[in-house]
Amino acid sequence: MKLRETPSACPSLWRSLPCPPAELRLDLVLSSGQTFRWWESSPGAWTGVLGEHVWTLRQDRDRLWYTVYGKEENGHPAEAAMLDAAEMEQILRDYFQLDVGLPALYRAWGAADPHFCKVAKDFPGVRVLRQDPVECLLSFICTSNNHISRITAMIERFCQAFGRRLCYLDDQAVHAFPSLSALTGADTEERLRALGFGYRAKFVSGTARAIAEGLGAEGLRALRAVPYAEARRVLCTLPGVGAKVADCVCLMALDKAEAVPVDTHVWRIARQRYGAVLGGRSLTPRAHQEIGNFFRGLWGSHAGWAQAVLFCADLRKNQELARSRDQGKQGQDSPGDVTH
């Protein structure tokens, strides 16, 4: 979808807030597997669904520009009148956790870890999102043995099939993430399999039903207030949720900055950069714990944020290597295009 609006072309539709690149790099944060509902709609502009609204974001020097679309008028998206300027800014500040000062954290991590210091200079502004817990949980269940590009396509089909239509952009409908009530039908698993979810269909539908009949969306959100270990334990009781998915949700939706998601990507970083014996010979539950504890000891209370920087850097390196190997092959998943 291509959007023609720019801050200079439609100033009445755009607002901005101070946000230097050292605090946030949209291109790094929105494309590195934390979320799957944003796309680069035109060079430097990112469009996606946040809450019940469609947004376009753009960075210009030290400012973050944004516009929000509401329901279509005469077939075209209109500016969202239901949100005032203060509400829009607060939503973005919460989503990007802009109250967390990133440069100070980078300095502390770099002082404690020479490898981080070397990598981070080329990857400023990588911060952890604060996502809706239901959306984050169901999305990350889909990441098992998967690629970012494929996950993104799966989530898009998921939202089109089960989510409420928000508006049209360039004649294409944009949908909200499905509500729990939309996912509790007896045919949900069957419909997900038809959408290409494979074995993940059982876990997505089972977890949605378990939450709807148990904690509820508010109960899941309330895990933000409990200790990390307790939130992780509760999540691991849900269908298809293991240590990695639980840690992703703890970090990116439940305010557990110390959570360190460990997949084969992070396991390789730990072994190659921090000691070959760390985590043992395979990615076992014990290895998850050992690697998480190691990084928490190294980086401190925001260890999950530091890990996100290294993950992003390693992902970009692998994607560049894959592109150099696969030049001329269009529309295929890159071997380096992996997520948490």
Q: Are 177 and 186 in contact (CB under 8 A)?
A: no
CA gap 145, 247 in Å, rounded: 16
pLDDT in tens, 189-226: 999 999 999 999 999 999 999 999 999 999 999 999 99
| Residue 290 backbone dihedrals phi, psi, to 5 degrees | -60, -45
Average pLDDT, the chain: 88
pLDDT band at 51 (very low <50, low <70, confident <90, very high): confident
Pairing of strands 38-42, 15-18: unpaired
Closest of 253, 257, 255, 268 to residue 338, by C-alpha: 268
Find all residues with CB under 8 Å of 195, minimum gap 6, and list them: 154, 157, 158, 161, 201
Q: Please say if 71 is a catalytic residue.
A: no
pLDDT at residue 119 is higher than 70: yes
CA gap 80, 67 in Å, rounded: 8
pLDDT in tens, 151-173: 999 999 999 999 999 988 888 89
Which domains does the chain carry?
11-98 (3.30.310.40), 133-314 (1.10.340.30)
Catalytic residue (one of 71, 118, 244, 329): 244
